[in-house]
Amino acid sequence: MDGLTGKVAMVTGGATGIGAACVRRLAAEGARVACCYNKSAAGAEALTEELTGKGQDVFAVRIDVTDSTQIKQGIATITEHFGQPIGILINNAGDIIKNVPADEMDEELWNLVIAINLTGTFLCSKYVIPGMKQLGEGRIINMGSISARTGGGVGAAHYAASKGGVEALTRALAGELGEYNITVNTVAPGVIYTPIHERHNTPESLERLRQQIPLKRIGDPPEVASVVAFLASDEGKYITGDNIAVNGGKRFD
């Protein structure tokens, strides 16, 4: 895709699932990619070793997106390593932690999911924006979820609320940053084979979900990464403030 070669991309939650697929796709398109991780050091190191072995420019860096100090330090490290500001930010880090009915959910769990999924997205965006303004352009792509529209099912109020907030944040930032040639969009996956779905579903529940999808199959991370790469490229430069669903046609109601 046009416009990705030589650009510096930062992918949070880049060690596994959709994040790893985004790292692979952006690197294959010629971007210089920071694979950011928190707990998945082994996955990040293995992915980085694999892709650098192919001659692609990938660098692993640990960032806890709930810690603003780590975010600022990580962005400084990435900028120094590649010798230029970050031009593409993929806010992919996120978690459900566990499903708990609302009347049984403690504030600690609620606050942690909001901190990872929503506040982390805001903080990473906040601290890359100055570099994008310096570049005169930028792409911020936030990972949403179909749960923002469906509610996510029993026990997922924290996750659904956080992803609804991500959609609203996307629209707010798109309005603020358009004059600086910085686009901001959300990609909202449906049911995708990722570690989160493996943890929170059984084969039987995944089969029930599959039957609800018009395409009658569960998606794969590279199918989400292809949309991310499009939005990050020059081909997607006139799209901003939007929510792109990647869900096999599953309705929001």
Q: By C-alpha distance, which of 68, 187, 65, 154 is closest to 118?
A: 65
Annotated active-site residue in 37, 127, 159, 180: 159
CA dist 63 and 166 (Å) reads 19
Q: Is 159 labeled as catalytic in the residue annotation?
A: yes
Map residue 170 onto helix, strand or coil: helix
Q: By C-alpha distance, which of 132, 130, 153, 93 is closest to 7?
A: 132
CA dist 70 and 41 (Å) reads 15
Map residue 164 onto helix, strand or coil: helix
DSSP string, 4-63: -TT-EEEETTTTSHHHHHHHHHHHHTT-EEEEEESS-HHHHHHHHHHHHHTT--EEEEE-
- Find residue 37's DSSP bridge partners: 62
Q: Residues with catalytic annotation?
A: 159
